Amino acid sequence: MAEFDTGLPSIRQVQRFIKDKTKVNIKLTTQELLTGTILWQDVQCLCLSDEANQTILVWRQALVYLKPNT
C-alpha cells in the first residue's frame, strides 16, 4: 500500500476494531492465526496485544485475513 489512506473502508474497519477493542483473529502468510486486540495501525504494520498481553508488531505484507474472534 503506497500511502496510508484513512478513508479506505478496510482501514476504517480496522480502526473500528481498535476503538471497540474487538478481539480479532489474524491469519498470516505463515499459516499462523494470531488472536488479540489491535492497538494501532500504520502503513507498514498492525500492532497487536495478544492473549498474553504481549505487544506484537505484525507486518501488513504478511496479512491474509482478519475477522472478529467470535
Q: Which positions touch a second copy (CB under 8 A)?
A: 1-2, 5, 8-11, 13-14, 27-32, 34, 40, 42-45, 47, 54-68, 70
Q: In angstroms, give the least distance from the CB of 22 to a second copy.
A: 11
Name the 3-class secondary structure at 13: helix
Q: In angstroms, give the least distance from the CB of 47 to a second copy.
A: 7
In the chain, the amino acid numbered 68 is P
Please identify, using beta-carbon distances, which residue of 23 and 63 lies nearer to a second copy.
63
Q: In angstroms, give the least distance from the CB of 46 to a second copy.
A: 9
In the chain, the amino acid numbered 40 is W
- Residues 66, 52, 19, 3, CA torsion sign: negative
Q: Are 64 and 24 in contact (CB under 8 A)?
A: no
